[in-house]
Amino acid sequence: MIFIFIAVIFFFDQLTKVLITQALSLHQSVPLIKGVLHLTLVRNRGAAFGIFKDQAPLFILTSLIAIILISVQLKKDKLKIFSIYTLSLSLILAGALGNLADRLVFGYVIDFIDFRIWPVFNIADSAITIGAILLGYSVLTSKNA
């Protein structure tokens, strides 16, 4: 069940990127809520917020390591999909797979969600961020902490 959840997020991430690249030209911006939420097509050659530009081999390697470690953890513990810990790892894994796919195919990550007060991001970035927040919460509230 966990891996179906991961596959659905990965598919949705990749589908939205295909649709955006077909609908917009590079750097074109279309307001959904004027001044608040726009769709803006950008190519991110760096990490979060565009830092460490043009370090694709490093990002690919770190993504692969994270994907392997998280996959092993999910399989080893046979965690339940309803635990916050499992959900957090699943979100991080799905996001890492989505952005890794972009880097391997294009050499950059396709970003398009633009709130104008934050760097442009995508569904995979959202999954990683939400997963990291949930992971932190899970670790901080666990009985072993």
Is 77 among the catalytic positions? no
pLDDT digits (tens, 9 = 90+) for 78-135: 655 578 999 999 999 999 999 999 999 999 999 999 999 999 999 999 999 999 999 9
Instruction: Identify the active-site residue in 13, 102, 111, 114.
Output: 111
Instruction: Identify the active-site residue in 13, 102, 114, 125.
Output: 125
Residue 134: how many CA atoms within 13 Å on its side-chain side?
Answer: 17
- Distance, in Å, from the CA atom of 30 to the CA atom of 57, rounded to the nearest integer, reads 32
Contact 102, 110 (CB under 8 A): yes
Joined tokens for residue 129: 């961020």
Beta strand pairing call for 29-33 and 109-114: unpaired
Is 125 among the catalytic positions? yes
pLDDT band at 75 (very low <50, low <70, confident <90, very high): confident
pLDDT digits (tens, 9 = 90+) for 31-55: 999 999 999 999 998 766 566 676 7
Domain boundaries, the chain: 2-19+39-140
To the nearest 10°, the Cα dihedral for 34, 109, 95, 133?
-60
